[in-house]
Amino acid sequence: MFEIKNLSMIYDMESDDKLYALDGINLELPDTGLVGIIGPSGSGKSTLMYCMSSLKKPSEGVIKYKDKDITSIKDREREVLRRKEFGFVFQKHYLVPYMSALDNILVAGTDSTEELVENAKTYMKQLGLKEAEFRKKPAKLSGGQCQRVAIARAMINNPKVLFADEPTASLDHENSFNVMKILKKYSNDRLVIVVTHDRTVLSDVDILIEMWDGKISGVNSGN
């Protein structure tokens, strides 16, 4: 599904101390499965995910998604691609403060049908949120609860690729495992890419990518 060649991302291009956030990345990923990206803070994990999801334009290299180079397509085409094919869970949850948890999920939906509402509730329940929390606004929810609402929001449109940047960062051990179990199941018929620095949540990944200083230092096929 993804074919990445010689991908580099240089921040502060003009300055003397150019920073290679990504440095000559080569990577191929299949159509389905759970992919983990692990590495220390600042190693380029988020930047790689932003480039793959076309939120950031790389300085060099090619990213082919379904045989098409998405680094050179027009902005409009890129927006359509993101809306139709990709789902995101950001490092921060970015929920709309004046909307309930449920409405925050529904607002991402392409059409507001009964089925969408049922799906939203099902995802929330699976993610360990209780009925009482569905109608609460983000300010009344804990960080971990907000994070799970953001995960449900990303799942609701059935994306072909789900990008999740530290989706378990504010969760306790038990909830982290539950979220990973759901993402694993969700990855049966799509690609799910999870960035984390917590190795323990990645026990069940199909592919593990290790990053170090803007480079891929290892790729392992999991179990």
Ligand X SMILES: Nc1ncnc2c1ncn2[C@@H]1O[C@H](COP(=O)(O)OP(=O)(O)OP(=O)(O)O)[C@@H](O)[C@H]1O
CB 179 within 8 A of CB 142: no
- In whole angstroms, the minimum distance from the beta carbon of 110 to ligand X comes to 29
> How far is CA 13 from its chain centroid?
27
Interface stretch with ligand X, choices 41-49, 113-121, 147-155, 199-207 (CB under 6 A):
41-49
Q: Select the binding partner of residue 100 from ligand X, Mg ion, none (C-beta < 5 to 8 A, by kind).
A: none
Q: Which stretch binds ligand X (CB under 6 A): 40-48, 98-106, 128-136, 202-210?
A: 40-48
**Binder of Mg ion out of 46, 100, 104, 187 (CB under 5 A):** 46
- DSSP letter, residue 194: E
User: Which range touches ligand X (CB under 6 A), out of 38-46, 95-103, 116-124, 125-133?
Assistant: 38-46
Report helix angle 173-186 to 143-155, nearest 10: 0
Size of the site for ligand X (CB under 6 A): 13
Reduce the secondary structure of 183-201 to three states and give it as a string: HHHHHHHCEEEEEECCHHH
96 is a site residue for ligand X (CB under 6 A): no
What DSSP designation does 149 have? H
3-state secondary structure 10-43: EECCCCCCCEEEEEEEEEEECCCEEEEEECCCCC
Number of residues that bind Mg ion (CB under 5 A): 1
Interface mask toward ligand X for 45-84; x: CB under 6 A: xxx-------------------------------------
Is residue 33 within 8 A of residue 60, CB to CB? The reply is no
Q: Judged by CB under 6 A, which of 30, 42, 143, 218 binds ligand X?
A: 42
By CB under 6 A, is residue 138 in contact with ligand X?
A: no
> To the nearest whole angstrom, how small is the minimum distance from the Cβ of residue 69 to ligand X?
22
Bridge pairing between strands 215-221 and 60-65: unpaired
Closer residue to ligand X in complex, CB, 119/168: 168
Structure-token match 């049966």, residue found: 188
What is the rounded CA–CA span in Å between residue 86 and residue 94? 17
Contact positions vs ligand X (CB under 6 A)? 11-12, 19, 21, 39, 41-47, 197
Contact positions vs Mg ion (CB under 5 A)? 46
